[in-house]
């Protein structure tokens, strides 16, 4: 009986340690996710609009904090396809007009996957943008569209504050809200259960 109790205590302690360690994943910053959304979208737009890529493109953006933040991401998308990028409209016949007009951040309800696991929360970042490709010599719109792209992932609830970034001009942010059970009852239950397991382990061992 004593041996069985000791084995149970060891299993619980090891399981809790494994669960805790598995939660120590690196969280992507809001900025890196927005960069991925921007570049994936621009790359898809380029591939869809051209069978043969132009040698260069002039990029025109609205003068807003969000667009200025994303300009380098847009430029890198063209450069990755060996398309030269200019800021002057006169420098290229192909004009790319780009404007991101909304970026929002929303968290879901906190949850835990295991008894001893970290509390987690879903994160949704959405980016709304519009673009146009124009041939300036032919005064022709090659393509024009508005779209909203979204990225959803799961992060540790404890990292919510450290991942916040005041430099990103979010139009709206929905903070995660802990329920009464999550904020008070669950931590109390976990604390008591952990204390009991540790007490039994050392008592049986002695």
DSSP code per residue over 58-123: EEEE-SSHHHHHHHHHHHHHHHTTT-EEESSGGG-SEEEEEEEEEEEEEE---B-SSTTSPPEEEE
Specify if 190 maps to a domain: no
Question: Six-digit token pair at 167?
Answer: 């430099």
**79-130 per-position pLDDT tens digit:** 999 999 999 999 999 999 999 999 999 999 998 877 667 889 999 999 999 9
How many domains is the chain built from?
1
Q: Which of 119, 52, 60, 53 is nearest to 87 (CA)?
A: 60
Q: What are phi and psi of 133, to 5 degrees?
A: -105, 130
Q: Are strands 172-174 and 94-107 parallel, antiparallel or unpaired?
A: parallel
Specify if 191 maps to a domain: no
Specify if 189 maps to a domain: no
Q: What is the pTM of this model?
A: 0.75
Range of the domain at 37: 2-181+196-205
Specify if 111 maps to a domain: yes
- Give the H/E segment covering residue 136: none
Q: Sign of torsion, CA 117 118 122 125?
A: negative
Specify if 188 maps to a domain: no
Question: Six-digit token pair at 177?
Answer: 């809200």
Specify if 176 maps to a domain: yes
Specify if 187 maps to a domain: no
Report yes or no: 70 and 38 within 8 Å, Cβ to Cβ: yes
Specify if 186 maps to a domain: no
**123-167 per-position pLDDT tens digit:** 999 999 999 999 999 999 999 999 999 999 999 998 999 998 999
């Amino acid at each position: 009986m004593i041996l069985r109790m000791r084995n149970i205590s060891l299993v619980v302690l090891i399981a809790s340690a494994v669960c805790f360690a598995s939660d120590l994943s690196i969280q992507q910053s809001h900025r890196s996710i927005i960069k991925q959304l921007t570049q994936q979208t621009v790359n898809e737009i380029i591939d869809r609009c051209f069978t043969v890529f132009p040698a260069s493109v002039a990029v025109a953006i609205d003068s807003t904090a969000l667009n200025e933040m994303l300009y380098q991401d847009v430029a890198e998308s063209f450069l990755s396809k060996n398309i030269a990028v200019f800021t002057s409209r006169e420098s290229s016949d192909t004009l790319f007009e780009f404007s991101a007009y909304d970026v929002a951040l929303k968290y879901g309800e906190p949850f835990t996957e295991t008894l001893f696991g970290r509390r987690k929360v879903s994160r949704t970042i959405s980016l709304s943008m519009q673009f146009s490709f124009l041939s300036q010599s032919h005064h022709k719109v090659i393509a024009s569209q508005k779209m909203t792209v979204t990225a959803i992932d799961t992060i540790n609830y404890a990292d919510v504050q450290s991942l916040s970034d005041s430099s990103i001009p979010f139009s709206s942010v929905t903070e995660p809200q802990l329920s009464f059970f999550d904020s008070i009852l669950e931590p109390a239950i976990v604390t008591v259960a952990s204390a009991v397991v540790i007490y039994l382990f050392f008592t049986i061992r002695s």
